[in-house]
Amino acid sequence: MDKKTLVFDLDGTLVYTDTESYFFKSGRKKDYEFAEIPGFVRPGAKELLNELEDDFDLALFTAGTQDYAESILDQTSMRKNFKIIKHREDLKREPISEDFPLKEIQKNVFKIENDPKKVLLIEDTPLFCVSRRENCLIIPDFTGHPDEVLHELKRCLKPLKNESDIREGIKKHCSKFLWRPRKSLLG
Ligand SMILES: [Mg+2]
């Protein structure tokens, strides 16, 4: 079976950059810094990427700038895991759906892999994939507190390599992280 592509968000999904975080206040050594602001890698992030990269093509799609993303990936040695890196300059304002013309900033993962059976975005911000929600998992955001989210995520992602349609696969294996509207979504 052809490899599928997993597209990861950066901030709040794999890392958190802020002085207002539990890890920073508790004296934990920072994993990186940007513009003198300390940042932390989410527990399990490196293991997750290292374990998935044999079975999937991995991409990164951040709403941050290219400089920001590349600096973090270099400092944390996560750059080697990603075949493709997309950033703020690749975001587009698009209609949310055919019958709902309000435009929102979207991460178009079909520009990375154009077969909808084979691409999945992993995000903490539902709005970024509202127009492609069948190809999206929403995980609780990381704000510098220890959590187990990426361990749970790993268990749901691994079996997707054997699913012919990733959109069906996530319903079976990742139901906890399926896209659901949040009250604040449309303001
Ligand atoms: Mg995010």
Q: What is the pLDDT of residues 37-80, one digit of tens each?
A: 999 999 999 999 999 999 999 999 999 999 999 999 999 999 99
For residue 63, the CA-to-ligand 1 centroid distance in Å is 8
For residue 13, the CA-to-ligand 1 centroid distance in Å is 5
Q: Give me the residue spans of the domains in the chain.
A: 4-177
Q: Domain 4-177: which CATH class?
A: alpha beta
Question: What pLDDT, on a 0 to 100 scale, did the predictor assign at position 100?
Answer: 73
For residue 1, the CA-to-ligand 1 centroid distance in Å is 30
For residue 87, the CA-to-ligand 1 centroid distance in Å is 12
Give me the half-sphere count of Cα atoms (radius 13 Å) on the Cβ side of residue 132: 27
- The alpha helices in the chain, defined as continuous H runs, are 22-25, 45-52, 66-75, 149-157, 166-173
For residue 125, the CA-to-ligand 1 centroid distance in Å is 6
Q: How far apart are CA 181 and CA 101, in angstroms?
A: 17
Q: Does pTM top 0.85 for this prediction?
A: yes
For residue 47, the CA-to-ligand 1 centroid distance in Å is 19
Question: What pLDDT, on a 0 to 100 scale, did the predictor assign at position 76?
Answer: 97
Q: What is the pLDDT of residues 117-138, one digit of tens each?
A: 999 999 999 988 888 999 999 9
Nearest to 40 by CA among 49, 52, 30, 28: 30
Q: Give me the chain's average pLDDT, please.
A: 92
Give the C-alpha distances (Å, rounded to integers) separating 130 from 14, 54, 136, 138: 20, 29, 9, 11
Question: What pLDDT, on a 0 to 100 scale, did the predictor assign at position 184?
Answer: 56
Is residue 186 pLDDT above 60, yes or no?
no
**Two tokens, residue 131:** 């127009």
For residue 39, the CA-to-ligand 1 centroid distance in Å is 14
Helix (H) or strand (E) segment spanning residue 5: strand 4-8
